[in-house]
Structure formats: structure tokens, C-alpha cells
Structure 1
Amino acid sequence: MTIKSFKVLSLLLAYPTVEIQAASCEFHDILAGEGLVPADCLPPLRALIEEYRTRELLDLQERYVLLFDRTRSLSLHLFEHVHGESRDRGQAMVDLKAMYEERGLAIESKELPDFIPLFLEFLSTLPKTEALDLLGQPAHVIAALGERLAKRESSYAAAMLALAAMAEADPKATEALLDEADDDPNDLEAIDAAWEAEQVTFGPGSPDDGCPRVAGMLDRLAAEVPPPDTAGKALDGSARNG
């Protein structure tokens, strides 16, 4: 049985596309109906979903890039916060990709397996107990991202903090991460200096990547929940990459 809440949260944390925007009218009902997300996390998530419905797509995309692509401390790649640039990061990527493939989730070679939306897509295919257990392993990273987003008064904090609540993130481990330096997204010179040491390949949320997994996630979500007319084009087989 598919866990639809993980799919919805995955799409909310992916690079915004017209397909996701069209499908967003279903998201709150899915989250509330499945009952996996704690009730007190639903109102902030409703606000994030409402932004998808009411804001211009270009505004949503610009905000996403500024937060997640230009702010290293908000990177949506889990191992960035755990291993940094150490050799352990590469092996962790290999191990995670192997786990995906063993369970039938094939990813393209250019996709980084620790990209949070991709990780959530994987969790959606697992039994509930196993999915929550795996979510608990990086929960402190997700909780720290939620706190950093909340400090910026970003509505994206709702998605991260909901995931952290679902997994019951360790407060001490979260605080340890929060003690590390946080980037200022408005300090463009510092951001450029932080990234220039390496060529960064972003995951499926990157605008350059074209969101190759978004259409697939929407298709699988549509198979579970018949969409209304307003979201039909976004959830049927004609959905294209953003």
C-alpha cells in the first residue's frame, strides 16, 4: 500500500512546476485523510499548499532557488549536512542508491539519492513502520532544516517540521546541527565563495535538471486519488517535466 502523505510532501519540496501547482488542490485532503501527519502540523501545511494555489509560478520558483539552491545550510541533500565533503559521503550515496534499487526504485545516474524529495518518494513505497523507521535516521537533519526555514519565516518550514514530528527527531542531535553556521541567502559573495570549490549537481528539484521524477510521482499519486477536473491534466499520463 502506498503512503500518499510522503508523496505529497515530496512534491511540496520539489522544484515548483505547473503540474505540481495544478495538483496542489488535492494535497491537504490527502494529508488530513491519511492521518500520518500530526494534526497540529496540518494548518501550516495548508498555508504552504495555499501558496502553491495562489502565487505566480515564477515567484514560487525564484523563492525555491534562493532558499535551497543558493543556501548551502538549507541544502535538500541529506548527506551534505552529515558528511560534508568527506569520503564517507560517496559511500553513503552508493549504499542508499543500492537500497533504492533493491526495493525496485531505479534512479538516473545524475540523480543524487540523498535528495529529500527522492528519499520521500522511496519511503512512500514502503510499509508504514519501515518508512517511519528510515525517516527517523535523518530526522535530526530534517528538523534542523525546518528550524532554519522557520527562522527565515519560510512556509517551507511546515513540510520539514511535519516530517520531523512524524519521525520524532532527537532534539539533542538537532541542536548540534543548529550550532553550525547558517548561511545568509542575501550575502551573495559569501554564497559564491562557498560553492566555487566544487561543481554542484543538484537533484530533481533543480531547475536545470528538469524535475525528471515529478511527472512519475504525480502519476502514482493520481493512481491512488482520482483528481477533480481542475487537477486532471496535472495528474494524468500527459504530465510532463517542469
Structure 2
Amino acid sequence: MVNIYRILSLLLSYPSAELQAARAEIETALAGDVLTRTIDKKRAARLLEAVCDTDLYDAQERYVLLFDRTRSLSLHLFEHVHGESRDRGQAMVDLAAHYEEAGFNIAARELPDYLPLLLEFMSTRTPEAAAELLEQTGPILAVLRQRLDKRGSVYANAFWVLEALMKHTVDAAAVQPLLEQDEDDPTDLASLDRIWEDEAVTFLGNSGDAACGPDRLRTALRAHQRSVHNPPQTRE
């Protein structure tokens, strides 16, 4: 099962000539993954086909419009839960430290919450450890899948596979606050500028009760749900 994480990491990365050239190798790895369901391997294969059969520049443009210019589809997971900017920075530091402690080195310019990077890390863990991380990101992955489905994007296939790999169904109560966030239009540049000028976001609403390392994912989702359902009272 861990093998599929590495495959999905590649498929969710920025399209490149190297990725397209590795098509046969990826197809072989996918076919040899005996722990992944046939339907999920077909979903991954369909995404691989879409990435590799598309002109490289067109594939890159599609990727940028979806994931780089659409904040509500960002593959940087800490973008999807609101909080204080300093907490977001600390969450990044903690997750990077978790990688380092596990012997997984990342480049200085890489952000640790980037989903393809997290999936690559998960591919180096035991199935149990990888599954725990996957469960913690479940609500965000479910929201991304639903939003991509609404757009008819083939990239939704990757998130269908990730949801299928989870041991438990994603809690709808955890998903709803994220779904209630506004979705942005990547072609509306003025609106996009306003969205990116909004408050910085993180997985944490209160740094005081946060656990270290990847447990920040779970802690922050809970904090975010509390902030949505129990907004602060306005003083008279």
C-alpha cells in the first residue's frame, strides 16, 4: 500500500518532462502494487494518462490554474485551516522537524505541508505510520476531492484513491467547516488578490494547546471546527 503513496506523490507534483518520460515505469509500479484495489489503480492510471497524454505546457497550465492560483485547491495543506500566522510558521517548523527526526531530508525551499512531499514521506514509513498521517489529513483531502469533482478535474482521481486508503470514513462534521470556506476563481485576478491578502492560515487556532509534530494536523482541525461553530461574542 505504501507504494501507492509514492505514485500519487508523483502524479500530484508539477508536470514535467521527466514525469512524462517515467510513464512506463510508473505504470509498471502501479500494476505491481498488489495491496491497492483494482478500481483505485484504474483511477491513478487515468490521471497518469491525462498528465502524460497532454502537451507538457498545457498540462503545466492546468496544474497552475488548479493548485497554484486557486487557494481553495491549494496542495499546501496548512492553507485550509485558519489561524494566526505565527502558529502556521511553528506548525511548519514542527512538521519539518518530524521529517528530520525520521531521517527524511527536504530542501530548504520546500514547504513541509506540500501534499506531494507529505505523500513521499508517507511512502517511506510503515503502513501503520503512513495510515495515521493519512487519517489526520482526511477532512482536507475529502474537501479537495469534492471541489475537484465539481470542476470535473481528473485530479480528483488521486483524492478518491487517498480516501479509499483510509481505514475510517472521513467525519462529515470535520469536513463541513472547510466546505463552508469561500472558493475562488483563478481567472478573477482582482478577487484572487483580495483572497491572498486575507489573514494567514494554519492548522492551529491556539498555539498553547498544540501537540508537536504531525499531531498538529488533528489538533488544528478540531480547533478550526470549534471556531466555526462557536464564533467569538462581540462586545457591546
| TM-score, length-scaled by structure 1 | 0.75
- How far residue 35 of structure 1 moved from its aligned partner, in angstroms, is 3.6
CA shift at 1:197, angstroms?
Answer: 6.1
In structure 1, distance between residues paired with 2:26 and 2:66: 22
* Structure 1: distance between partners of 2:29 and 2:172: 28
Query: How far apart are residue 54 of structure 1 and its match?
Result: 1.3
> Residue 87 of structure 1: CA displacement?
2.7
Rounded to whole Å, the distance in 2 between the matches of 1:17 and 1:147 is: 26
Q: In the alignment, does 2:38 pair up with 1:39? A: yes
Whether 2:96 is the aligned partner of 1:97: answer: yes
Corresponding residue number in structure 1 for 2:131 = 132
Post-superposition Cα deviations, 1:128-166, rounded to whole Å, max 9, x if no partner, equal 111111111011101111111111000000012211221
SS at 2:120 equivalent? helix
> How far 1:89 sits from its partner (Å)?
1.2
Cross-structure match for 1:16: 15
Number of aligned positions between the proteins: 198
Contact 1:140 1:164 in 2 (8 A): no
Whichever residue aligns with residue 182 of structure 1, its letter is E
**Aligned position for 1:182:** 183
Task: Say which SS state the counterpart of residue 34 (structure 1) adopts.
Answer: coil
| Structure 2 stretches lacking a partner, 5+ long | 201-236
Partner of 1:161: 160
Identity score, percent:
52
Runs (4 or more) in structure 1 with deviation over 6 Å come to: none
**Aligned partner letter, 1:178:** L
Provide closer, same or farther for how the CA distance between residues 104 and 3 of structure 1 changes in structure 2, counting only shifts above 3 A: same
* Offset, 1:41: 2.6
Asked which structure has the greater CA Rg, the reply is 2
How high is the TM-score relative to the length of structure 2? 0.77
